[in-house]
Amino acid sequence: MNKAIREQIPNNLLFRYRVPCLKVVSKSKSKTPKPIELDESYRLPHFGEFDDQFQFADMRLGWSELGVYVTLIVKGRELPLECRETAIMDSDSLYVWLDTRDTHDVHRATRFCHWFVMMPAGAGAKKQKPVATPVKINRARESSPAFNRAKVAIESEVSKTGYKLSAMIPAASLNGWDPSEHRNIGFNFMVNDSELGYQTLALGPDMPIEEDPSLWHTIQLMD
């Protein structure tokens, strides 16, 4: 292989990662899904470092029969956040992709694939309330019938140097969510930051990770 071409291939394209995802045991008796701030035991590894990604975010992931839990901590900022509910794709945000069938042999999203965008601010009269919304995946073979079926619960805390975001994606918004039968879930995420750049689980946005589930990785639901 030509050396110049080889140097253009991301290192992470050569690997498919399987990451354990711990179960969340909530003490709340409420039937309404609520975010939970996950501790360090739920932290995801940063495979992006193999392609020289700068790490500025602490991404944590958990699960239960009720759905998927996310906590994101971003540090090191000096400028105000850029978050607008009317321009979520151009805002400081977190993208989360989930495939409840963990299919890696297709390049277009199926009805089991989902994309959620979360922001620590941007909503409300003062633009200080967090935002979480599903987004349709470009070139999808099928759209999820669970699209926008249930609201993603989200909370955030913004500081001068960053923010903390916790969200709960309910099972009702995840077509095919059945942990008793499907313990491997296709997964990817990307933190978009107007000041610090981007951070992903592995491959970056130079590859079509927004629409190609074969480029996502696997989380293994652990008890």
Q: For residue 49, is pLDDT > 70?
A: yes
Is the pTM higher than 0.85? The answer reads yes
In a domain, 21, yes or no: no
In a domain, 10, yes or no: no
Q: Which helix (DSSP H) or strand (DSSP E) does residue 219 occupy?
A: strand 217-222
Q: Binning pLDDT at 50, 70 and 90, where does residue 108 land? A: very high
In a domain, 78, yes or no: yes
Read off the pLDDT of residues 19-34 as tens digits, 9 standing for 90 and up.
Answer: 999 999 877 767 677 8
3-state secondary structure 138-182: CCCCCCCCCCCCCCCEEEEEEECCEEEEEEEEEHHHCCCCCCCCC
The structural domain count of the chain equals 1
Q: Tally Cβ neighbours within 10 Å of residue 204.
A: 18
In a domain, 123, yes or no: yes
In a domain, 14, yes or no: no
- Give the residue numbers spanning the domain of 172: 33-222
In a domain, 9, yes or no: no
In a domain, 17, yes or no: no
Average pLDDT score over residue span 164-175: 98
Per DSSP, the three-state class of 49 is helix
In a domain, 16, yes or no: no
The CATH number of the domain holding residue 82 is 2.60.40.1190
Which pLDDT score, from 0 to 100, does residue 2 have?
Answer: 40
- Mean pLDDT, the chain, whole residue set: 94
Instruction: Look at strands 184-193 and 18-23 and give their pairing.
Output: unpaired
Per DSSP, the three-state class of 12 is helix
Which pLDDT score, from 0 to 100, does residue 7 have?
Answer: 54
